[in-house]
């Protein structure tokens, strides 16, 4: 018998969990009330920016996450944009962003006319490294008149946007402490972590504002959609106002008192979201089972481990990932090819932000861990359905 | 018998067309394939930013309008934002915008970091007055090195964004001529005019780019949505790229080569749009019948006329409107109160842009016609359904 390559062994391990046939990276599941709620939407003719499902989706999100308020918007990128505006980020500010993130985080900073400033990750959480960030800020920044100034650029470091990578919670306590000491506003990019918590508190509720995404590949989808989680009532009112064209309430006049945004989530998308949220506990349980199955399947492959939630945290296991030891990082692309060739959709983690043209010249700290993770991380099929049936 | 007030007579005329019960300003109609296509979406699990309905909706829009390309986006405001970016509008430019428009036009200019410069309307079309604009530019601007410079601000007047008000086509030939002579790019805000044409050419296909809206109150709705109409193939490719996070095609890498936007229309919204577009000819016929009915109903009321399409044009009659003679403009609010009190939803035209806080200090020409129209226009119930059955 010819010896199997590492790539083949990885593909076999994934296949042992997923069963046969083509397997997507993350497919939604619509076997609940999705159908009924969409029909109700059409029958009522309320499909657009006003409707009872928008209100219900916001209330359901607030109830599930424990945030005092949730404001539904058109997608996660819009949620980040508004969150940064509300955090006071403006032209010529800098914002601390993980180098390892989906590009939306850096885009939202650019929309504000501000500059991303990239932060390294820790391997334990895949998210911003609080200790390394503290040391770095201590050497390059100083607090002056209650603002954190980047001594090199002279700009204000206004906010930080840690992201809970693949749903695994970041070291939020460590980062909140850095934010406090350096007078930086913390906005939580919880786009990937609906259902993830730290202790008994839901991700996205620690910072001034948290943001969610309900894109088609997320744990819960509205087609396209996002939300802001906000505890401060005044701030939540302002978020709703800014995202709904800044129109003042009036029986018939069209008065808009600031430059607003049309970031409203349509009722039809919210209807889908309401049905999906009802299934969330079931999805979370299935995704956790899927992790356990992968962990078993990969036990026999040295130098490859399935990424697990950080201790003290509860991850939603949005995207399952395997991490190669540095010694076999060179095998990453052959593993990607072998799995995709055999109908198993896998992908590497996003290219680091400072490797992308538009963000190449942004300021950054040394990024050894993020750069190592970029070489070694592979996402494997993660749909909740894969953890629902009996194991293969 | 007590004499009826003007407000009562207007309410009675509207009621004679709409029949009894509460009547909204513009309600969508979902009695076609909406349900079937949404179900197909759910069954396929393709509800998000990729899917066959997005492609079909774009192809159907291009076929209907005669534009070479249509790019579906998340709403009309996003379409305007991208259109202006593609027109080269940047920080510190000025953009000519009708004073009489929905606020999205001015917002999109602001998103580019540019300044709106407000233009007067002509009563015949309710849109930008080409002749007045030509005279105005002749006195305040000059062409220097192929750019139109506002002599007072020193800024480049980069683009103009005429809007087809309530679906009635603007004087596009006159405006194209001004644009040509003053080296200004023309972007057509056709948010309200799907189905409207000038001669045999669809609105939104005359300028460099045209934009559409499919908000819940539009002739055709996708819940929330918009599109760009573009004849130039390279420009259309760039529009698709910019609105889909500027991601380069690759089997698994995440490479984004510029600051992109998440302005993708979800497949589920496009599914609704495909079904709605099939009904468009029927909607247009009904809306034209509704206009005829209103015209008859208002024949006996002196000083009030129902707004008709400009000659040589074919309007979609998106929103029906009555125009009060200047002598009775003071009755506007009593008419709005009488109609709304009796369950007929009516509203005035939007507050003019220079009357809104964020745009108060923008440059503008004299706006006597727009200011007069603001005092005298009232939109009355306009749903296609109202023109579908036998007349009351």
Residues of A in contact with B81 (CB under 8 A): none
Pair (A234, A120) in one structural domain: yes
Pair (B363, B296) in one structural domain: yes
> In the sheet where A201-202 sits, what is the strand order?
A201-202, A197-198, A313-314
Pair (A145, A116) in one structural domain: yes
pLDDT of residue B251: 86
Q: What is chain B's mean pLDDT, rounded?
A: 96
Residues of B in contact with A348 (CB under 8 A): 252-254
| Structure tokens, A227 | 């939300």
> Closest partner residue to B35 among A39, A245, A357, by Cβ?
A39
Over residues B369-383, the pLDDT tens digits come to: 999 999 999 999 999
Number of Cβ pairs closer than 8 Å across A and B?
A: 184
What percent of chain B stands above pLDDT 90? 95
pLDDT of residue A1: 58
* A1 within domain boundaries: no
Domain count, chain A: 2
Pair (A69, A103) in one structural domain: yes
Is the pLDDT confidence value at B391 over 80? no
Residues of B in contact with A211 (CB under 8 A): none
Pair (B236, B305) in one structural domain: no
In B31-177, beta strands by DSSP E: 69-73, 94-98, 115-119, 141-144, 147-150, 157-160
pLDDT of residue B45: 85
| Structure tokens, A208 | 């001034």
Over residues B348-369, the pLDDT tens digits come to: 999 999 999 999 999 999 999 9
Is the pLDDT confidence value at A375 over 70? yes
| Structure tokens, A59 | 């209330």
Between chains, do B358 and A258 touch, taking CB under 8 Å as contact?
yes
Pair (A102, A251) in one structural domain: yes
Is the pLDDT confidence value at A26 over 70? yes
Between chains, do B266 and A261 touch, taking CB under 8 Å as contact?
no
pLDDT of residue B1: 58
Residues of A in contact with B38 (CB under 8 A): 38, 42
pLDDT of residue B132: 98
Is the pLDDT confidence value at A2 over 90? no
- Report the CATH number at residue A172: 3.40.640.10
In B177-225, beta strands by DSSP E: 185-189, 197-198, 201-202, 209-213
Instruction: Give the mean pLDDT of A86-113.
Output: 97
Pair (A203, A143) in one structural domain: yes
Is the pLDDT confidence value at B26 over 70? yes
Pair (B173, B289) in one structural domain: no
* B392 within domain boundaries: no
Over residues B142-192, the pLDDT tens digits come to: 999 999 999 999 999 999 999 999 999 999 999 999 999 999 999 999 999
> Closest partner residue to A258 among B43, B78, B357, by Cβ?
B357
Neighbours of A391 (CB within 10 A): 14
Pair (B371, B229) in one structural domain: no
Instruction: Give the mean pLDDT of B283-303.
Output: 97
pLDDT of residue B193: 98
Interface test with A, best of B27, B45, B353 (most A CBs within 10 A): B45
Q: Band of the pLDDT at A3, cuts 50, 70, 90? A: confident
Is the pLDDT confidence value at A229 over 90? yes
CA distance A315 to A308: 8
Pair (B292, B177) in one structural domain: no
The domain of B355 spans: 6-29+278-387
**Residue where one domain finishes, among candidates B247, B276, B305:** B276
Whole-model pTM: value is: 0.95
Long-range contacts: A234-239, Cβ < 8 Å, 24+?
A235/A86, A235/A208, A235/A209, A236/A68, A236/A69, A236/A71, A238/A86, A239/A69, A239/A71, A239/A82, A239/A83, A239/A86, A239/A209
Pair (A158, A300) in one structural domain: no
Interface test with B, best of A24, A40, A42, A47 (most B CBs within 10 A): A47
**Residue where one domain finishes, among candidates B250, B276, B302:** B276
């Amino acid at each position: 018998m010819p010896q199997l390559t590492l790539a083949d062994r990885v593909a076999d391990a994934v296949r042992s969990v997923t069963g046969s046939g083509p397997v997507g990276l993350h497919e939604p599941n619509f076997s609940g009330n999705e159908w009924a709620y969409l029909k109700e939407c059409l029958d009522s003719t309320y499909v657009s920016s006003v409707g009872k499902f928008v209100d219900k989706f916001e209330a359901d999100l607030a109830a599930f996450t424990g945030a005092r308020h949730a404001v539904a918007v058109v997608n996660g990128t819009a949620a980040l944009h508004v969150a940064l505006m509300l955090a006071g980020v403006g032209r010529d500010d800098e914002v601390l962003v993980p180098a390892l993130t989906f590009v939306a985080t850096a885009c939202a900073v650019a929309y504000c006319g501000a500059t991303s400033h990239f932060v390294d990750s820790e391997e334990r959480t895949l998210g911003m490294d609080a200790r390394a960030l503290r040391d770095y800020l201590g050497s390059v920044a100083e607090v002056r008149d209650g603002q954190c100034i980047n001594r090199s650029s002279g700009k204000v470091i206004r906010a930080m946007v840690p992201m809970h990578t693949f749903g695994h919670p970041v070291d939020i306590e460590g980062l909140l402490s850095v934010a406090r000491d350096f007078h930086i506003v913390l906005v939580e990019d919880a786009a990937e972590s609906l259902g993830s918590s730290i202790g008994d508190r839901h991700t996205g509720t620690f910072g001034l504002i948290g943001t969610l995404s309900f894109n088609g590949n997320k744990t819960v989808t509205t087609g396209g959609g996002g939300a802001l989680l906000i505890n401060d009532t005044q701030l939540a009112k302002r978020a709703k106002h800014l995202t709904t064209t800044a129109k003042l309430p009036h029986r018939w006049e069209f008065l808009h008192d600031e430059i607003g945004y049309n970031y409203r989530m349509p009722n039809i998308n919210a209807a889908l979201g309401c049905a999906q949220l009802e299934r969330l506990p079931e999805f979370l349980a299935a995704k956790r089972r899927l992790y356990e199955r992968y962990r078993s399947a990969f036990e026999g492959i040295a130098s490859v481990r399935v990424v697990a939630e950080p201790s003290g945290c509860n991850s939603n296991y949005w995207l399952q990932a395997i991490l190669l030891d540095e010694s076999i990082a060179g095998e990453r692309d052959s593993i990607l090819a072998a799995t995709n060739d055999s109908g198993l959709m896998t992908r590497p983690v996003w290219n680091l932000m400072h490797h992308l043209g538009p963000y190449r010249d942004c300021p950054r700290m040394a990024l050894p861990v993020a750069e190592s993770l970029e070489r070694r991380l592979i996402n494997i099929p993660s749909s909740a359905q894969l953890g629902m049936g009996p194991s293969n």
